[in-house]
Structure 1
Amino acid sequence: MQPPHPPPPPYPPRPGSTPGDSDRDLVAQLHGPGGDSHRAVALLLARHWRATCDYAVICLASMSSSAQLVATSAFSRVLGRLAGGAVGGALRPQLLAAVRETVRNWAADDVIPIVLPELRKPTGGRGLRAAMPGTPERRQLAERAFRALPGSSQCLLWHTEVEAEPINIPASLLGVDTATASAALVRARAQFRVACVRAHRELAPTKECRFYNRLLEIPVRRGGVLLPDVQRHLVGCRYCRHAAEQLSHFEDGLDALLAEAVLGWGARRYLDSREVRGPAEERPPTSRAAHPAAGGSQRTVSRGRRRKALLVGVGLTALALVVTLLLAKNWCDDSGIPLPRATWGAADGPTTVMPAFGRSGPRRPGGTLPAVTSRIYDNFPG
């Protein structure tokens, strides 16, 4: 029975406007009837496919069509897990992390590298497999703090800082207006800093580290000089040196801190692959646009690309032909490794071209997916 006064939504809509579907709404529709779930997957693909493929190219160190297979597996794993009721944060970081783990798992397999030789590259799958799993020590506080944030805060921080997108993009992903999203972004940055400071205190290896917790954070935040006692402590304490370095990113370079904490492998290259999709005047004042050199590359401003990035509904008819591949239970196992019966070709139709939202120039391998038949819909949960 419905309560007489249901709780208000976390972000009330602007008077006179109706926000579109948020990522959270679309994920909830994965439990719904066939038509709703198909539409939800198509929209999520339109929003996140390109970035997922871009990171797959980075992890493979290859522009081949194998990136499509990795991205498809990542979507299958993440959306399948969410459709099963798992609770997650912002969708984009989850998909990118799934790409990294898929490449790592496939590179460790005995058979898959024979079919996909890209996995043997020392700068790609083989290097990723050999790298230390987990978050680097120097980014553990940021990783823990980011995971503790609400999904809406993760979405705002990731898309404005790492993806270098104007505020209207994460606003549409959250289903809110830009004014609400801008105010929430300010709170998200404050939440992230507080969570980092709390993580430093909770994970401190000694009482002395906990004692210097606030003495370390306040001068860094205010741009002042650390007390002599704190400086002497940092000389002998690697844990607190890492904490001070991570806190310094809040003034310049929050994008690098987030990318390295969540992705690790290829984080800098992923940052360099992102482009500004909106005018600088529409971006938050403390975002990446204020520090164009923070990620190692200048980003080109393009109003036309911003408009294209908003056309997430374009091409839904074509997308409906390919979304079935993503959540079919018989496509891959829990590790994301293709089963022997999985097929990669487009036996039932021509290759479907994904719309390159917010991009121009030559189309990269991440822009296509193999077309499949509608019979796989029967395996979709719900």
Structure 2
Amino acid sequence: MSDAASPEPAATEASDAALISRIRAGDLSAYAQLYERHLAAARTLARHLIGADAAEDVVQDAFAKVLDVLRRGGGPSSGFRPYLLTAVRRTVYDRYRGERRLQSTDQIESYDPGVPFVDPALEGLERSMIVRAFRSLPERWQTVLWHTEVEGAKPAEVAPLLGLTPNGVAALAYRAREGLRQAYLQMHLLGAPAAPVDEECRATLDKLGPYVRGGLSRRESRPVGRHLDGCERCKAIYAEMTAINSALRDVIGPLVLGTATAAYIGAAKGGSVFGGVLGRLRRLRKRWKTLGGGAAVLAALVGLVPALMSGSTPIRPAPGLPARSPSSAMPSKAQDPKPPAQPPPAAQPPPAADPPAPGGTPSSRPSAPAPPSSVKPPVTRPPARLTASIATVGALVRGQRGIVAISVGNDGAGLSGGLVAEVALPPGVTYAGGPAGREAALFTERHPPGDGWHCRPREDRLRCTRAPLRPGAVTSAYLHVDVAPAAPHGTPPAVTVSSSHSGDAATASAPYGVMRDGLPARFAADGGLSVVHAGNALLTCDHSHPGCRRALRREGDRRDNDRWRMRRLDRDGSPATKASSAARVRLPGRSRVLWAGLYWSATVRADGPVTLRLRPPGGSYRTVRAAEVSRGRLPTRPVYQAFADVTPLVRRYGGGVWWGADPPLRTGAARYAGWALVVVVASPDAPRRQAMVLDTLGTGRAPVLGPGPRRLDTPVGGLFTAGRPGRVGAVAWEGDADLPGDRLLLDGRPLVPASGDRDPRNVLDGSADGALGPGLAFGIDVDVFPAFLRRTGTVTFATGRDACLPGVLTLAAPFPG
């Protein structure tokens, strides 16, 4: 139902939509009213995004840009506030990116095809169903939802902005919320072709809107409730719709407000955004008579537009603008602006002549400078001192993905300015994402760097930006990259970090560049993290043989799959599987899964699709297809290793007993098969750590070692450790407990596994963390090693008499502080 179908009585003051229409018709005095209405909100956001001394410049720049857009017919039709706040945020981010290489432009439409600008870093959020449903609403509905649900304003406060009575605002907000629910349901019905909606679900979803607001009769409600009790998908949609108003604040807010969402909304609740709107509007008519239609404000704002487009000089406040204080008043005469009684904290000299009046004729009288006594001395900032480091996480190997880590610290006593990191990647190494070049403004990061960093390719380097860093703080970013097959070896990545508040800068270079071999990184992050490993074998010896029973108890001298005709291990009791085993995944309490990888391997050629059946706790088996497969050859058998990202599945089902079953495998002498889960979780109870996952997948070539002395070295970099004990985890295949000589070394020192035989001279001994069943897991090792980790080092898989396939290496390193 359109809101036009039931017209509302007009409020006393002109609405934002009416003022925007007047501006497009040539009446620029209407913009002064918009300026007065929304100045407090713009200032509130700017002061939370950038220092107070620069906030006023940002606000005036944004108002001037939006005015120029409206004069050219662009911009919003009624939703002026969200559009203005987006312009404020964009102006702040442009300043963070550095003024020396930035060419300012007023062409907001080139970044905004009819809706407020959305930061590319939030494009994943932009694609969510709630955002798409919100964007599909009429602009007037979006506007009333923004003011009432996101900003939390009362109908009486919103009424003047929409040209309605308070009752009219309440009715319009009710229709908008119902329209949003219907649009959100429609997104669910049409937006998931991979999971079609059956008729029973469709019948429930058709009634879910009125069910949420209690609009169904008791008889109609009963079948809906019964269906929700038995359908997890519909229950999840119902929960989302019940909380749809809070979802608006949490989801739509960041699209407009960015990192200052919580602070801005808190200020709105406190009244600094809306509290003065009604009082100012009551005084507005009298002011307009003395302002001559707001010409002074318009003259100043129009005068700012040419400076914004030139990009050659800093933008300075024009005479006639309100003083830079929350209680500033507009000048009393358009033709004779008086200097403000309370000048800005960092006053700028006025331009040589008055800006053009609305008619376009410049004033012939120069503006009078402010009295010297009114100019305050510049504010002295405590100095910030930046430090920087950069390193590869694991190895950068030709033809594979990788990660480069940067760390920036503030060792000074003051807040830094916005951070700009210029990263020079080695030749043949590119940032993972696209597109680049002329479309760099549309660049989408495949993996966000984390901790508020945003990165874009710029010519021959990568530019990363972040908000200011407080004294004593350290921030890190993990840059996912792709290495070309012909990338030259040797050249390391380098970084230069600077601050927008001063000329302070820090530079660093990594110890390694592209290497000939090693383990590339698949995942890296820091925070309150833990790394969890679990796995089990899928082949075993003949349980009826006494020697087999002893071997499974880790006894005797036949703990080697070369000495048995290996059989399928099938423990789930289901006739639908031929080989199955279980492992317990122990996740910390209150944890959140950040990443989960499933690895499996066997001695077989494995042509065609490589799959494994995986059963979560309380669920049923589902077939997982490998995203990457590497193949190689042991002395007498072909071998493969497969990988699949199962983050959504582990995130849904969490910890507990997981089952793996029926990968490609063969039985017989010297055969093995097994699977492992590696999970990285964030927990509020965990100490701050860095977590890294390296593996040998990617090129399609399995790095088989041995038999005989062989080794695989991989650098360990990007660690910001504090010299406290950490943990190294390893997944490897085809290790034998009776064949010694295989070791895991850290900088040449052998590590001792925490399970199995705990022999540092024979670490691959058929021990698997979390495995349920026999004590010996033939052919698979999932081990954890306590270790002291430094900032850089080398981890080595080394073999003696045994042959093995290194699979996965994980690191959990304590973070300083």
Q: Structure 1 length as normaliser, TM-score?
A: 0.64
Does structure 2 conserve the Cα–Cα contact (< 8 Å) formed by 1:352 and 1:369? no
Residues 354 and 209 of structure 1: CA distance in aligned 2, closer, same or farther (over 3 Å): farther
> Matched residue of 2:356: which SS?
helix
> What is the rounded CA distance, in whole Å, between the counterparts of 1:321 and 1:178 in structure 2?
32
Match of 1:192 among 159, 177, 180: 180
**Residue 379 of structure 1, CA deviation:** 6.0
Question: 70, 73, 85: which one pairs with 2:58?
Answer: 70
Change (3 A) 1:349 1:309: closer
Counterpart check, 1:218 vs 2:208? yes
The yes-or-no answer on 1:156 pairing with 2:144 is yes
Match of 1:109 in 2: 98
Q: Which has the higher contact order (CA 8 A, sep 6+)?
A: 1
Equivalent position of 1:330 in the other structure: 306
* 8 A contact 1:28–1:83 mirrored in 2: no
1:271 and 2:261 correspond: no
How far did 1:71 drift? Answer: 1.7
Paired amino acid for 1:250: I
Q: Distance in 2 between matches of 1:214 and 1:344?
A: 61
Q: Does 1:40 align with 2:27?
A: no
1:83 equivalent in alignment to 2:71: yes
> How much has 1:210 moved relative to structure 2?
8.3
Name 1:52's counterpart in structure 2.
42
Alignment of 1:197-208 (within 5 A): 197-204=185-192, 206-208=194-196
Q: Distance in 2 between matches of 1:30 and 1:199?
A: 36
Change (3 A) 1:309 1:18: closer
Do the aligned residues in 1 keep the contact of 2:324 with 2:344 (CA within 8 Å)? Answer: no
Structure 1 residue runs without a partner (length 5+) = 1-7, 114-130, 235-239, 278-298, 358-362
> 1:72·1:325 contact (CA, 8 Å) conserved in 2?
no
Distance 1:13 1:321, change over 3 A: same
Show CA shifts across 1:334-359 (max 9, x none): xxxx722454145x5686367649xx
Structure 1 residues 147 and 225 mapped into 2: Cα distance closer, same or farther (>3 Å)?
same
Write the letter of the residue equivalent to 1:92.
R
| Structure 2: distance between partners of 1:377 and 1:20 | 23
**Counterpart selection for 1:256 from 236, 247, 250:** 250
Does the 8 Å CA contact 1:141/1:199 hold for their aligned counterparts? Answer: yes
- 1:312/1:342 CA distance change after superposition, 3 Å: farther
- Deviation of the 1:262 alpha carbon: 3.9
8 A Cα contact 1:221 1:248, kept in partner:
yes
- Secondary structure in 1 matching 2:73: coil
Could you say which residue in structure 2 is the equivalent of 1:288?
A: none
Partner AA of 2:282 in structure 1: L
Alignment of 1:239-318 (within 5 A): 246-250=240-244, 254-275=248-269, 307-311=278-282, 313=284, 315-316=287-288, 317=291
1:377 aligns with one of 358, 365, 369: 358
What is the deviation of 1:26? 0.9
CA offsets, 1:345-374, max 9 Å, x none?
45x5686367649xxxxx9979x9998834
Q: CA deviation at 1:324?
A: 3.1
Looking at CA atoms only, which structure, 1 or 2, has the larger radius of gyration?
2
Specify every segment of 5 or more residues in structure 2 that has no aligned partner in the other structure, as ranges: 103-118, 215-224, 329-341, 362-817
Aligned partners of 2:323 and 2:344 also within 8 Å: no
**Structure 1's 189 and 352: CA in aligned 2 closer, same or farther, altered over 3 A?**
same
1:261 to 1:196, Cα distance in 2 relative to 1, 3 A: farther
Q: Output the CA distance in 1 between the equivalents of 2:273 and 2:84.
A: 25
1:50 corresponds to which letter in structure 2? A
Q: Structure 1 pair 41/265, CA: closer, same or farther in 2 (3 Å)?
A: same
Summarize the Cα distance change of 1:345–1:48 in structure 2 as closer, same or farther, 3 Å threshold.
closer
Counterpart in the other structure of 1:340: 312
Which residue number corresponds to residue 170 of structure 2? 182
How much does 1:187 deviate? 0.6
Corresponding residue for residue 100 of structure 1: 89
Task: Name the SS of the counterpart of 2:55 in structure 1.
Answer: helix
Question: Percentage identity across aligned positions?
Answer: 25
Partner of 2:531: none
What is the RMSD of the two structures over their aligned residues, measured on CA atoms? Answer: 4.4
Distance 1:327 1:10 in 2: 38
Distance in 2 (alpha carbons) for counterparts of 1:324 and 1:301:
26
How many residue pairs were aligned?
A: 308
SS of the equivalent of 2:40 reads helix
CA contact (8 A) 2:58 2:91 kept: yes
Q: 2: CA distance between counterparts of 1:229 and 1:370?
A: 70
Alpha-carbon spacing, 1:110–1:244, altered in 2? closer, same or farther (3 Å): farther
Q: CA separation of 1:371/1:250 partners in 2, compared to 1, >3 Å: closer, same or farther?
A: farther
With over 3 angstroms needed to count, the CA separation of the structure-2 counterparts of 1:103 and 1:190, relative to structure 1, is same
Determine the structure 2 residue equivalent to 1:24: 17
Letter in 1 for 2:358: Y
Task: Name the structure 2 match of 1:146.
Answer: 134
Residue identity matched to 1:150: P
- One-letter amino acid of the counterpart of residue 14, structure 2: D
Please tell me the residue identity of whatever aligns with 1:272: G
Structure with bigger helix share is 1
Query: 3-state DSSP class of the match of 1:269?
Result: helix
Asked if structure 2 preserves the Cα contact closer than 8 Å seen for 1:324 and 1:376, the reply is yes
Matched-pair contact (CA < 8 Å) for 1:58–1:270: yes
Residues 30 and 132 of structure 1: CA distance in aligned 2, closer, same or farther (over 3 Å):
closer
Distance 1:370 1:13, change over 3 A: farther
Structure 2 length normalisation: TM-score? 0.33
Partner of 1:294: none
Q: CA 1:176–1:301 in 2, change beyond 3 Å: closer, same or farther?
A: closer
Q: For the structure 1 residues 204 and 168, does the alpha-carbon distance in structure 2 shift closer, same or farther, using more than 3 Å as the test?
A: same
> Could you give the per-residue CA deviations for residues 297-346 of structure 1, whole angstroms, max 9, x where no partner exists?
xx9998xx57425336165539642333434541323xxxx722454145
Distance 1:325 1:205 in 2: 53
Q: Residue in 1 aligned with 2:421?
A: none
3-state SS of 2:74 partner = coil
